[in-house]
A and B are shown apart, each in its own frame.
Chain A
């Protein structure tokens, strides 16, 4: 069982690598896809890769320009890269997660106090920007591209990973000036949204195949741990998502 899982992970990674830019492609699906035998864009797949089904919710409901979405994807992948543990932000569907979040109440600050007057606060008074999160993301992502053009004379998505890191670091260190919000505040949002996309229930479009949870050996949504709570040894469990509760 454990071996099988490991094998499918490896082949999946290989597939991710072979298919190039994942967020624009059709990667993922795993078990369900292989059971159903749906062979979407089958010509791209090797015989070792699991067969994928179309994921209709991998489309954009907030971003309008592909270029912005690709910049976002590249930035999230640097924050949460693919490595020996497993997939990175792109293969987990994090950019779609963020896109969908920005289109909803999170992006529109529906539950936040957004009445003026707006003043800069101290470091201890929390975020005081008049901008909503979707406006912060949009401005920040365009600024990533602008910085990339000015520092490396190339698009952010075309840079080497380390060059992308340098740009991101400038944002984290507030060495870039944004309007109505600090670059570091944008970076913090980007970082936290990336982690949320990697580890939230797959229902939101990230954590594809629960692969984020699997890396952390997190069992997801279980109804009870009464049988595990007193165990001395670590108990590995097959993860479960909210989908299974319906």
Chain B
């Protein structure tokens, strides 16, 4: 029998970036908040032994325990979906800080074009430019409307970067200067400039210099130690909820953060939620937490799963195209790159998660698509993450993959390969969606989320086009051997790609085609707010966290208004 707890104004499900930002803003405004986190408590003192590639990168120390819960996957509706039994194309975070603790820190804004993509595409290229089946939608907010929230988020996190003239207008410069330009990044810069591009240092949450944010949080600069993605930052240099928004919320005394609190149901009467039911995964005790406002910020997958499993909102039906929960699931198109093997050795053991350069010319609609068979674009970029030895075994094609030749060649090139990579935008498709699996269940008896996803013609065409742009850059950089990949296989759930999953509870102007409004307030339940990249109607070519952060600040403002006045915010 569940233990019913006293009612609170706000309960937040998930203590990552979205939940952390909202908790911080609401508690600063004096509102009592309960934060429920399924995983464990986490502090920088937990990162004492963090420089351990095996434990963190290969054994997924910071990720969700798949034995308790995973998702099922199929490429098309004709296939039987099967569980993702091991990691994994994407890595779900867990614990306080969520994926905001193990991210790389590449922190962009989306383009003005992104927020009005459907209208702008029709306006410029005509209706026929949007192929049948592509579920392209405007976001219900413009870049200019979101800009102040981007600014607020970036100042909180201390984003390091430099302005790009062809991107959206900024109300203020980046709070901190760009990361250090290393010799290999200088090579990329020189090569791309020679080819007529305007490369820029990727905006970074790794912190290029010591910084004190408007909340009074002081953090030290990045040490380029090369343990970012899949790792926590022991210096607190990488922006992470546990060193930014959560300490601020905790200091107010208004945040009751409960770890090992796995929410499995939203309680509601069809119009409004009354609270949530959660289980302690360790003791298996059950609790009911009543609240005036329920905020879901438990990652794309869990936000969708909780709504569907609780039967809140109208589930998406791919046959009719009706319904909204689970629709417009999108990802990131990253099949294309040029790998270059060099004669010289570089200090590639050093690096940082967001230490990179990119060219802006092929992003969004910044190049003419009239004669192209795809819309949107990609960032062409090079990073110096810092190569870790278990995973760093790149050898030229035709080399044996084990044995004497492999060993010799992989050692030879350990510090001598660079990659010009492409990160492409992912457009939503009617047949790419999330729903509940009919067969498989999690450890609490709730159906697993089922993903139906494959790359589309749009993605294949974008890939081919972008791959062609990478090879000349690598040639200019002087690689001895260049290998260009320009084709996409069907999405494979086994090898890691990235965790840029988006959509499923999308924002928009119309309750018939979107689940939440521009404050991330549910159309079908006014006291439920669903925060995170689940709100993105499509995914841009830029990493999602910056936009997720901006939307979370806006949502917090909306929740505050709602607590005062009630009703729909738009």
Contacts and interface: CB of A to CB of B under 8 A. Distances in A.
Interface of A: 78-81, 83-85, 88, 105-106, 109-115, 117, 119, 121-128, 165, 168, 191, 194-196, 199-201, 203-204, 212-213, 215-226, 228-232, 234-235, 242, 245
A225 B350 contact: yes
Nearest to A78: B403
Nearest to A123: B492
Interface residues of B, number: 65
17 contacts: A80-B402, A85-B411, A88-B407, A105-B59, A113-B70, A113-B83, A114-B67, A124-B494, A126-B86, A191-B402, A199-B390, A215-B411, A217-B349, A222-B51, A224-B224, A234-B347, A245-B51
Contacts of A121: 82
B238 to A, nearest CB: 14
A213 B389 contact: yes
Contacts of A128: 82, 85
A229 B224 contact: yes
B480 to A, nearest CB: 16
A226 B404 contact: no
B439 interface: yes
A10 B392 CA distance: 25
B551 interface: no
A208 to B, nearest CB: 14
Interface of B: 48-49, 51-54, 58-60, 65-67, 69-70, 73-75, 79-80, 82-86, 88, 180-183, 223-226, 344-347, 349-351, 386-390, 392-393, 401-404, 407-408, 411, 414-415, 439-441, 489-494
Nearest to A219: B349
A65 B88 CA distance: 33
B412 to A, nearest CB: 9
A230 B180 contact: yes
Contact of B225 (A124, A212, A213, A225): A225
Nearest to B344: A234
B49 A226 contact: no
Instruction: Pick the 7 closest A-B CB pairs, nearest first.
Output: A225-B350, A221-B51, A224-B223, A199-B389, A200-B54, A234-B345, A126-B494
Given A127-B494, A225-B224, A231-B183, A216 B414 contact: yes
Contacts of A88: 407
Q: Identify the interface centre among B52, B183, B346, B404: most chain A CB within 10 Å of its CB.
A: B404
A125 B493 contact: yes
A200 B53 CA distance: 7
Contacts of A79: 402-403
Contact of B407 (A85, A123, A204, A231): A85
A114 B83 CA distance: 9
A111 to B, nearest CB: 5
Given A123-B492, A213-B389, A222-B225, A113 B350 contact: no
